[in-house]
Structure 1
């Protein structure tokens, strides 16, 4: 997981979560979810709850 922030304000703007590829993440297309900070509803020890539409935030590389 990575984060994106606004360098002018220092505020978080998004979290970036890798999407596992095929076969333990070693093969298949590399992609990631870029989740805007305003979509995050709750952060816990083992889970982050978000409210998004998957196809809108899946970014292929």
Structure 2
């Protein structure tokens, strides 16, 4: 078991191409069920977090393959 806040400390790695995508910036939670539906990472090149979240990358929970101590492994095809 883990806390949602602990996800922010883990790096996201895509196992399909080995690319490091960054760190979790937020989570999307279904308010009716309380279940995490997706994790959100800032888009590449986003130096400052301005109010705009239009270009953030949404990773559905179903694409997460493994959550380790330091990383989250996902399988996302381009």
Q: TM-score range by the shorter chain?
A: 0.5 to 0.7
Structure 1 outlier segments of 4+, above 4 Å: none
Aligned length, in residue pairs:
49
TM-score, normalization by structure 1: 0.66
TM-score, normalization by structure 2: 0.54
Structure 1, unaligned stretches of length 5 or more? 55-61
**Structure of higher RCO (CA pairs closer than 8 Å, 6+ residues apart):** 2
Structure 2, unaligned stretches of length 5 or more? 1-24, 49-53
Correspondence list, 1:1-61, <5 A:
1-21=25-45, 25-26=47-48, 31-54=55-78
- Decide which structure has the larger Cα Rg and report it: 1
Higher strand share: 1
